[in-house]
């Protein structure tokens, strides 16, 4: 079967670093996407990992371990605008499978 | 380049009615996927179309159907609406299946 697990909610302080973990089980794994979704808006693409390791893109980095079925999204120098839901989405040969997302609240 | 557009943005229907939602992908994108998003279930995959063919289908009843036209525009239809169909319906396009998906703003459907 296919299963995705990520924390439901997280809180952090402005300027801090936060790591959002995602574990997954899926057949025919091709890669893993991370999307950001602000309340009332559509998801927007953050990153895509195919190979093991860390991909850095500005304040956001994403890590993948294919053998462990594990990924994380690292957000540095948090800003208030980073308050949003973060969706982990493994991609198998058929489709993207989205987790229920992690709602991150950033406080001043 | 224009983004993914969806019409209508908001819709109110009553139980038993049917509804058709439309999605225009980014120019040049040939793959269109549809998702249902509800607070408790997150983003649930409905189906994916590529080159006018349904490539994949999620675990939804046959009341949910869709199609894709030669210009890559897509429609989804829900017949015999139920209260539980109230949700945000999101369309996403990509160049080809498996590439980064770009989401439209969604259609908020309310079934009374």
The per-residue pLDDT for A27 is 81
* pLDDT value for B24: 98
Please say whether the beta carbons of B4 and B95 come within 8 A: no
Would the pLDDT of A51 be above 60?
yes
In contact, B30 and B96? CB cutoff 8 Å: yes
Exposure letters B51-89 (e unless 16+ CB within 10 A, then b): eeeebbbbebeeebbbebeeebbbbbebeebeeebbbbb
Can you tell me the mean pLDDT for B25-45? 91
Q: Which residues of A touch B42 (CB under 8 A)?
A: 87, 98-101
Q: List the single best residue of A95, A102, A103 to mutate versus B (max B Cβ within 10 A).
A: A95
pLDDT band at B111 (very low <50, low <70, confident <90, very high): very high
**Main-chain dihedrals φ then ψ at residue B85, nearest 5 degrees:** -80, -5
CA angle A31, A35, A39 (to 5 degrees): 160
Q: Answer yes or no: is pLDDT of B12 > 90.
A: yes
DSSP state letters, A14-44: TT--EEEEEEEE-SSEEEEEEEEE-TTS--E
Q: Which of B45, B55, B105 sits opposite A42 (nearest CB)?
A: B105
Nearest to B21 by CA among B74, B73, B72, B76: B76
> Chain B residue with minimal CA distance to A34?
B100
Contact across the interface for A42 and B100, Cβ inside 8 Å: no
The verdict on whether omega for the bond into residue B8 sits within 30 degrees of 0, i.e. cis, is: yes
Cβ neighbour number for residue B27 with a 10 Å cutoff: 10
Q: Which of A35, A95, A97 sits opposite B48 (nearest CB)?
A: A95
The tens digit of pLDDT for each residue in A57-83 reads 899 999 999 999 999 999 999 999 999
Please give the residue of chain A at the shortest CA–CA distance from B46: A95
Interface test with B, best of A24, A47, A94 (most B CBs within 10 A): A94
pLDDT band, very low/low/confident/very high, at A1 (cuts 50, 70, 90): low
Interface of A to B at Cβ within 8 Å reads: 30-31, 33, 35, 41-45, 48, 87, 89, 91, 94-101
């Amino acid at each position: 079967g296919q299963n995705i697990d990520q924390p439901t909610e997280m809180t952090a302080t402005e300027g801090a670093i936060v790591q959002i973990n995602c574990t997954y089980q899926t057949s025919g794994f091709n890669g893993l996407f991370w999307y950001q979704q602000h309340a009332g808006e559509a998801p927007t693409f953050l990153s895509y990992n195919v190979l093991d390791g860390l991909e850095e893109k500005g304040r956001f980095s994403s890590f993948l371990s294919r053998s462990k079925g594990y990924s994380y999204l690292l957000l540095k120098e948090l800003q208030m605008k980073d308050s949003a839901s973060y969706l982990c989405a493994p991609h198998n040969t058929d489709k993207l499978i989205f987790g229920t997302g992690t709602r991150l609240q950033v406080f001043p | 380049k224009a983004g993914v557009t969806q019409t209508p943005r908001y819709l109110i229907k009553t139980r038993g009615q049917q509804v058709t939602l439309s999605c225009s992908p980014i120019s040049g994108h040939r793959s269109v996927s549809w998702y249902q998003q509800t607070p408790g279930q997150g983003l649930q995959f409905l189906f994916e179309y590529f080159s006018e063919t349904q490539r994949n289908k999620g675990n939804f009843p046959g009341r949910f159907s869709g199609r894709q036209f030669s210009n890559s525009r897509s429609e989804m239809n829900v017949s015999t609406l139920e209260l539980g169909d109230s949700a945000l319906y999101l369309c996403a396009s990509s160049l080809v299946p498996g590439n980064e998906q770009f989401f439209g703003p969604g259609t908020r459907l309310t079934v009374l």
